Chain A
Amino acid sequence: GENVEQHPSTLSVQEGDSAVIKCTYSDSASNYFPWYKQELGKRPQLIIDIRSNVGEKKDQRIAVTLNKTAKHFSLHITETQPEDSAVYFCAASRDTGFQKLVFGTGTRLLVSP
């Protein structure tokens, strides 16, 4: 089955710096890759996703890149702000009627003022 590895497990940056979180997946048939943000004690919320027919997607300060050949995808956050502090999860799934998301183990991002 699918396995998703996520690195780093923790990431500390100064406000205004960029942050990059990387994930690798094992199932070459996976073609949907979402990123979720989870603040302490709250529900995960989708922040950006990408499908395998594109290599990059951007939404304001957040971007995701996908390398299908290498089977890895990354989340890039530019101009980080303290409110970006949270746990970020990547996930992968196949394009099927039932969408089984396999999640990475999460990255705790701390943005210091």
Chain B
Amino acid sequence: DGGITQSPKYLFRKEGQNVTLSCEQNLNHDAMYWYRQDPGQGLRLIYYSQIVNDFQKGDIAEGYSVSREKKESFPLTVTSAQKNPTAFYLCATRTSGSSYEQYFGPGTRLTVT
């Protein structure tokens, strides 16, 4: 289960606070992704990054921000502008080679009250 780590596993915050979720990988993969998962729904793309210092909005980027200062790291900040932040957040990576597989981290369950 190594390769992609997300910390912490569970995170609790008060409404109105920003919170940063960590995603670190040692797979040497170029592309990294952040997804949000809600009960009864599929995974929805928040942000993605193909290379260092570059990232793009996904389908539900409002209220979120990211950075990609190092190849290994792609932290996600959930801001107070995100109206429904409580969810399961998954980070994923993909190699730039011919493989199409996305590898997922273990996820962070964020609860905002």
Contacts and interface: CB of A to CB of B under 8 A. Distances in A.
Say whether A and B bind each other: yes
B45 interface: yes
B34 interface: no
Interface stretch (B15-23, B66-74, B102-110): B102-110
Contacts of B44: 103
**For chain A, which range describes its interface: under 10, 10 to 19, 20 to 34, or 35 or more residues?**
20 to 34
Contact of B106 (A1, A42, A98): A42
A43 B101 contact: no
Contacts of A45: 104
A101 B45 contact: yes
Indicate the member of A44, A46, A51 with the most B CB atoms within 10 Å: A44
Interface in A73-105: 89, 91, 93, 97-101, 103-105
B31 interface: yes
B100 A99 contact: yes
A91 B44 CA distance: 11
A93 B101 CA distance: 11
B60 interface: no
Given A44-B43, A89-B42, A99 B94 contact: yes
B48 interface: yes
B45 to A, nearest CB: 7
B76 interface: no
A34 to B, nearest CB: 7
